[in-house]
Amino acid sequence: MTKLATLRGTVKQLVWAEKIRSEYAAKNPGCKHLLRRLDAQWWINNRVSIDAWKYDPDRKATGADPILAAIPACTYLLIDKLGRIYTGATTNIKRRLREHNSSGNRGYTRGTYWHLLAVKHFPTRTEAFAFERKVKRGGAARRRWLSEAHTRREAIALRFGYTFS
């Protein structure tokens, strides 16, 4: 058995996550998650998926990651003071919004404060990211979701004094 890398997290998280990871390592020796997933919270959050997943080498060949695919996720819309809309998908909406608004953000959303405009929850990560692609391409899905979020958009404008064109 290979030695597992040290996890990161609080003491309480480490105790719990190490137990989960050890059980997983016994069932799935040599799995890439044992080496790549070093965040204790990841092991705790994905306990149900890990327990339910049976190691199947054929899935690895297709490129599908059953552990990540089985995690519940959401697609979201953000709006800034200029009325620009950003679409994304994540498994943790609070953390992701905090990242968008942090000073260390180096992506498209850097340099402005973003407000959560709309969220759609999906039972799997795969569905959430597929819907994100559909919305980013534009068309009926994007227009329909933006029209549903219109009242929230107006509430944000009123609360923060924004004027959207």
Q: Over the stretch 2-21, which tens digit does the pLDDT of each residue have?
A: 566 677 767 766 777 777 77
Q: Which of 109, 122, 116, 117 is nearest to 75 (CA)?
A: 122
Cβ–Cβ < 8 Å for 4, 28: no
Residue 60 CB neighbours (<10 A)? 13
Question: What's the pLDDT at 114?
Answer: 95
Does one domain contain both 150 and 132? yes
Q: Examine the pLDDT at 62 and tell me if it is beyond 50.
A: no
The type of residue at 143 is R
Domain count, the chain: 2
Quote the pTM value: 0.61
84: containing domain: 73-160
Looking at residues 88-103, what average pLDDT do you find?
A: 90
End residue of a domain, out of 22, 44, 63 = 63
**156 and 87 within one domain:** yes
pLDDT band at 60 (very low <50, low <70, confident <90, very high): very low
Mean pLDDT of all residues belonging to the chain: 78
60: three-class secondary structure by DSSP: helix
Tell me, yes or no, whether 92 and 146 share the same domain.
Answer: yes
Q: Which of 47, 38, 48 is nearest to 6 (CA)?
A: 38
How many Å apart are CA 71 and CA 49, to the nearest integer?
Answer: 7
C-alpha to C-alpha distance for 156 and 78, rounded to whole angstroms: 11
* Burial class of residue 102 in the structure, from the number of CB atoms within 10 Å of its CB (0-12 exposed, 13-18 middle, 19+ buried): exposed
Average pLDDT over residues 95-120: 90
Are the CB atoms for 39 and 5 separated by under 8 Å?
no
Q: What is the mean pLDDT of residues 46-52?
A: 52
Domain assignment of residue 25, yes or no: yes
pLDDT category of residue 126 using cuts at 50, 70 and 90: confident
> Does 68 reside within a domain?
no
pLDDT, residue 64, reads: 53
Q: What is the maximum alpha-carbon separation in the chain?
A: 61
Q: In the structure encoding, which two tokens stand for residue 17, read together?
A: 């996550």
**Is the pLDDT at 66 greater than 80, yes or no?**
no
pLDDT tens digits for 146-156? Answer: 999 999 999 99
Q: Which two tokens stand for residue 21?
A: 């990871």
Please report the pLDDT score of residue 1 as a whole number.
Answer: 47
Looking at the structure, do residues 45 and 101 belong to the same domain, yes or no?
A: no
Q: Under DSSP, is residue 65 helix (H, G, I), strand (E, B) or coil?
A: coil
